[in-house]
Structure 1
């Protein structure tokens, strides 16, 4: 529980005047910027137990956050003579758009019903005075309130992200496209965990989500955001690391790495339904070099893992977890692995900027590519659903597309302003999502090879992104210890 400064605001109309900012924070009134709220706060009636979260960028008073609800204005609630929902002179029902302003971007804020009711009581007196106004006037000025915020609350929030460009900042062409199309996605929620998020993934079509952080993997019911189980490893002696995680195609198993005993790199398998844990095998102990990559073959028979020992190990999980052999050839740690939809090709990326293609049937290297002029790490690889394209994200800030058949670069689809940590194709193969050290998630259209959308809100590096099986939801995990859920609308 902590106390924060917040300013109440109200946007509404009365019996004579149309919608306008009725109450605004004192700092906005002093800057002559109260009209921002009338533009930024709008919408239909909000459902009970929910509020709208919106981040405002480049305004006259800087970046800030508003959290608000839309409710009916009633005579009984406002103290105005009459009964029932108030109406203007044209007989139209009147809404109160009320909430709080926070003088910074606060993506992890959780506002309770008590907070909203406290603000509502503060604002009603101003609306009473506004009711009989017949000519436009300056907004009433509100002083800051001290609100007790509980980030462990289970209050249901509805988040909508809508960037505004009040500051006159000149945008590049791709950024204009992003701003125009941002409204096609809705920021639904953010949940806080006890450690930095390394992996998040949907579990088949069962409405379950797996989240990996520290030595734990939480299984969540996605519909009500409730944890239903937690798989845990032992206590780490020499410090934590961002471990990988993979879900098999049927949603039965999770594969991941745990550090246990005397700093051993164990690869483990968990049966999601039976909760049974199985030790698959172990990578060589090489100081602090960890298992950095893991993946299932589409038939769920083999798990591939790679890391600091510069090898990729293949494990047969159907036949007593036998090691099938190793794929050797990288001269740097293996940072990422992806397996083609047909299960025939494995692609791996390393710390020196090399991508290797392996024939899984023959268990031998088929091609090696230097991904760029500089030897920068390849952090993420993903095959398109049809298996014809491989996408890569690297420390040179780029997202590149590779022709799987020719093993040649097709194009650089775009860049972040910092290293790219995660790339993922949508199930229909039409878009690619990427996340990076710039705290951003970008959505790229494969056909036009342009960015169509940028999602903001994380306060540290984005390490993982995953589409739901139907492609309508995107989940991102970050070193800020949160997952953020975005939904196509």
Structure 2
């Protein structure tokens, strides 16, 4: 029970803010609500940090070495996270919204823009200390909000763009900024650039699509005039040292011996070299600059992006990737990939502009997720949402691999068919559709004679009978899976049928309705309703225990009733009103303990063995009960995001005004192109003009719960997205370690030439350097024997290690022999466990494909060189020497 830990957040790969690359440009960090998601592009898998911000994340920054992550929410609360260890290091609050954030090139400092203030802080270390964040400098020379910032390559200058259409350059040695004015709109991108002559310049972008190129001309150092008097001479020498950068008042930057004096932006002249226009429809909404390749990327509000070669401003690519505004764009470290994000549609893309291919293309549900279902082998997850789409996710990697968009209204229920590669979905558009998981198409559509709205779905164990409950006609429709014909219509309920469940052992169908009853139906014999269980309140959902000997249903008064479906007797009742209570709405005039709304369960799920029951509803808690003792075992709080309504338990009087809570007042930002619509995270109704709305504060709730058939994980469809809780959260299995598994034991095994034992110990430790050492030590003739001794549980670890090793090793033939022997010896195992090993295999395939491309390029160049040399006169000694070198 206590082994379940938060594992991943899927269903919404991106919701706003900026994204960043980390870990050698192979990992993409993106905010999702108040959490941080990390996408391993080489391994084709996604995982979410277990730490949470206090609100929706607005800015993220990764240190240059990829070890630290700064995450700041919309209220200015900051957390520092270790990406390698996935733990929280420090917390701090800037007490104001942060509009720009960036690490210095060496990672020792970071700059934060808050309104008109620019602050420079020292980066904390990994050890615990009091007041870890140390403020070094504050600049307050801006006349309006700072929108973007960038560091110079030497880390001494900071360039900022503001809403007052100006660009300011600050230095750590002076409080006087240099103001550059050439733009006619808000500046939303600034970057330093280095010229081939060693000079420094800058690029600045504005929303109207203007790009300004600035170049700095340093002033020539003149000798200080000789002054009479010792005091005057001392002051003159001190002033000269300060101008040269030899001595600074704040002690941030010192001149080292053998290095040139630090340049000052105010001790020279900035020149506008060129001002260019992109001439694209829509405003410039995102941009980035890569100094190594001297290229810029610009994203626009029309969904178009362009890549330009500087300084000639030559267009390399001009493509459309979305119908909405591109909210973020960033290059990776090598510059061959560029990541884009579209907050309104939940799109996250990584584009390889050299090969013109997608490295990553993910789009989550941009409205609330209503339903979730596990496949029989627990490898796939199906979700349906208010955006009329059905998505299939890989449970191991967290990636969406197919989307079905044929429904024309919200999807309310999804279901996998046992023993077949098909998934069913019910929708408010009046159809139930069957999807083929082999060809990814809609091969069955179940309809009714009169239009109706479906809110529940069930199928028998054989998958031959499909049943769906309605919202408006209060009937249950029964179809045949083979013929798609309507077989029967079950009538008897007097309210919406929100719960349907087939018995796992017999042929009875259980249904729950708002008419305060649970009914059992004999579908196959055609006898109709055979049993009715009456309650005192509306019944919200019903589930069968896996052995078919118990029926659980929840009612509007917060109780869970357990029935014996065979004898028709009440087996027990759980009073869950206090368990699910928690969190008050902003419109409530009382605390959560005294509130009477939402204290009931709307979704439940049994574990595979029937010993546990998960229940959730319009609350921040998910309750886990012991079925035998009918007691609460644990409560899971699904989110600590204060941007959601219903997370806080007590009323904060500081947020109250004469017109009511300040969070309910519609604060329209005219500078925001999308306005309030850009902040809506759920499918919320639009209020009347001038009325108080809660569009930016969705209510926290759990709409669907499902435990996987293996019992190792469970999924919850919540306001935050699809939360996955799993028992398999550890990087390595500690039960597989003993006193003999040490690096010394690995070295001893290598010295005695016991390569199989050494590799097995290294795989158990899961240390990449030790695995690499063991792989290199094996003789090429003994690779087959060593590979055959690798157990199946460590096969994925070895494939991952080989994929990472191939990216940086010169021993290509040696490692390719390892890959060949691995596929030859364990080929059948790889085919049988392709879903489990798919992320590792994709990572290995990408590494091999990258090597093939590099070798093909090198071979092509050598071929042209040989043809050129062979065409020259053969009597030349230089040519003969070149041919000898090539041979």
Aligned length: 359
Return the alpha-carbon distance in structure 2 between the equivalents of residues 217 and 96 of structure 1: 34
Identify the residue that residue 161 of structure 1 maps to in structure 2: none
Return the alpha-carbon distance in structure 2 between the equivalents of residues 483 and 50 of structure 1: 13
Whether 2:602 is the aligned partner of 1:421: answer yes
The partner residue of 1:446 within 627, 642, 648 is: 627
The answer as to whether partners of 1:219 and 1:228 remain within 8 angstroms in 2 is yes
Displacement of 1:367: 0.8
Against the structure 1 CA distance between its residues 291 and 409, is the aligned structure 2 distance closer, same or farther, given a 3 Å change threshold? same
Displacement of 1:457: 2.5
Return the alpha-carbon distance in structure 2 between the equivalents of residues 223 and 246 of structure 1: 19
In the TM superposition, 1:89-128 aligns within 5 A as: 98=89, 100=91, 121-122=109-110, 125=122
Return the alpha-carbon distance in structure 1 between the equivalents of residues 507 and 105 of structure 2: 59
Identify the residue that residue 464 of structure 1 maps to in structure 2: 704
Displacement of 1:241: 4.1
The partner residue of 1:309 within 456, 473, 494 is: 473
Residues 141-173 of structure 1 show CA distances to partners (whole Å, capped at 9, x for unaligned) of 556999999776699xxxxxxxxxxxxxxxxxx
Identify the residue that residue 436 of structure 2 maps to in structure 1: 271
The answer as to whether partners of 1:283 and 1:291 remain within 8 angstroms in 2 is no
Whether 2:499 is the aligned partner of 1:336: answer yes
Against the structure 1 CA distance between its residues 316 and 71, is the aligned structure 2 distance closer, same or farther, given a 3 Å change threshold? closer
SS of the residue corresponding to residue 283 of structure 1 reads: coil
The answer as to whether partners of 2:79 and 2:89 remain within 8 angstroms in 1 is no
The answer as to whether partners of 1:233 and 1:258 remain within 8 angstroms in 2 is no
TM-score of the superposed pair, with normalisation by structure 1: 0.63
Return the alpha-carbon distance in structure 2 between the equivalents of residues 457 and 96 of structure 1: 19
Whether 2:380 is the aligned partner of 1:204: answer no
Return the alpha-carbon distance in structure 2 between the equivalents of residues 146 and 102 of structure 1: 19
TM-score of the superposed pair, with normalisation by structure 2: 0.36
Whether 2:519 is the aligned partner of 1:356: answer yes
Against the structure 1 CA distance between its residues 65 and 141, is the aligned structure 2 distance closer, same or farther, given a 3 Å change threshold? closer
Against the structure 1 CA distance between its residues 361 and 146, is the aligned structure 2 distance closer, same or farther, given a 3 Å change threshold? same
The answer as to whether partners of 2:520 and 2:532 remain within 8 angstroms in 1 is yes
In the TM superposition, 1:82-481 aligns within 5 A as: 98=89, 100=91, 121-122=109-110, 125=122, 138-142=130-134, 193-205=365-377, 207-214=379-386, 215-235=388-408, 240-241=409-410, 243-250=412-419, 252-260=421-429, 265-283=430-448, 285=450, 290-307=453-470, 308-318=472-482, 320-363=483-526, 364-371=528-535, 373-374=536-537, 376=538, 378-415=539-576, 416-417=580-581, 418=598, 419-458=600-639, 459=644, 460-478=700-718, 480=719
Whether 2:655 is the aligned partner of 1:486: answer no
The partner residue of 1:53 within 24, 29, 50 is: 50
Residues 150-204 of structure 1 show CA distances to partners (whole Å, capped at 9, x for unaligned) of 776699xxxxxxxxxxxxxxxxxxxxxxxxxxxxxxxxxxx95212111111112
Against the structure 1 CA distance between its residues 3 and 234, is the aligned structure 2 distance closer, same or farther, given a 3 Å change threshold? closer
Greater strand content: 1
The answer as to whether partners of 1:254 and 1:269 remain within 8 angstroms in 2 is yes
Q: Which has the higher contact order (CA 8 A, sep 6+)?
A: 1
The answer as to whether partners of 2:411 and 2:427 remain within 8 angstroms in 1 is no
Return the alpha-carbon distance in structure 2 between the equivalents of residues 212 and 380 of structure 1: 18
Displacement of 1:337: 0.4
The answer as to whether partners of 1:312 and 1:326 remain within 8 angstroms in 2 is yes
Against the structure 1 CA distance between its residues 325 and 2, is the aligned structure 2 distance closer, same or farther, given a 3 Å change threshold? closer
Against the structure 1 CA distance between its residues 409 and 192, is the aligned structure 2 distance closer, same or farther, given a 3 Å change threshold? farther
Return the alpha-carbon distance in structure 2 between the equivalents of residues 254 and 385 of structure 1: 20
SS of the residue corresponding to residue 494 of structure 2 reads: coil
The answer as to whether partners of 2:625 and 2:633 remain within 8 angstroms in 1 is yes
Against the structure 1 CA distance between its residues 358 and 327, is the aligned structure 2 distance closer, same or farther, given a 3 Å change threshold? same
Return the alpha-carbon distance in structure 1 between the equivalents of residues 133 and 401 of structure 2: 46
Return the alpha-carbon distance in structure 2 between the equivalents of residues 268 and 66 of structure 1: 45
Against the structure 1 CA distance between its residues 290 and 118, is the aligned structure 2 distance closer, same or farther, given a 3 Å change threshold? farther
The answer as to whether partners of 1:345 and 1:360 remain within 8 angstroms in 2 is yes
Against the structure 1 CA distance between its residues 267 and 137, is the aligned structure 2 distance closer, same or farther, given a 3 Å change threshold? closer
**Greater shift after overlay, 420-429 or 199-208?**
199-208
Return the alpha-carbon distance in structure 2 between the equivalents of residues 312 and 205 of structure 1: 29
Displacement of 1:408: 2.4
The answer as to whether partners of 1:99 and 1:120 remain within 8 angstroms in 2 is no
Return the alpha-carbon distance in structure 1 between the equivalents of residues 46 and 464 of structure 2: 45
Displacement of 1:438: 1.0
SS of the residue corresponding to residue 270 of structure 1 reads: strand
**Greater shift after overlay, 356-365 or 338-347?**
356-365
Return the alpha-carbon distance in structure 2 between the equivalents of residues 340 and 437 of structure 1: 27
Displacement of 1:283: 3.3
Return the alpha-carbon distance in structure 2 between the equivalents of residues 292 and 274 of structure 1: 27
Displacement of 1:426: 0.8
The answer as to whether partners of 1:100 and 1:119 remain within 8 angstroms in 2 is no
Identify the residue that residue 857 of structure 2 maps to in structure 1: none
The answer as to whether partners of 1:296 and 1:302 remain within 8 angstroms in 2 is yes
Against the structure 1 CA distance between its residues 226 and 366, is the aligned structure 2 distance closer, same or farther, given a 3 Å change threshold? same
In the TM superposition, 1:31-42 aligns within 5 A as: none
The answer as to whether partners of 1:464 and 1:476 remain within 8 angstroms in 2 is yes
Greater helix content: 2
The answer as to whether partners of 2:79 and 2:88 remain within 8 angstroms in 1 is no
Return the alpha-carbon distance in structure 2 between the equivalents of residues 341 and 103 of structure 1: 55
Against the structure 1 CA distance between its residues 253 and 451, is the aligned structure 2 distance closer, same or farther, given a 3 Å change threshold? same
The answer as to whether partners of 1:204 and 1:251 remain within 8 angstroms in 2 is no
Q: Which one has a bigger Cα radius of gyration?
A: 2
Displacement of 1:252: 1.8
Return the alpha-carbon distance in structure 1 between the equivalents of residues 720 and 53 of structure 2: 23
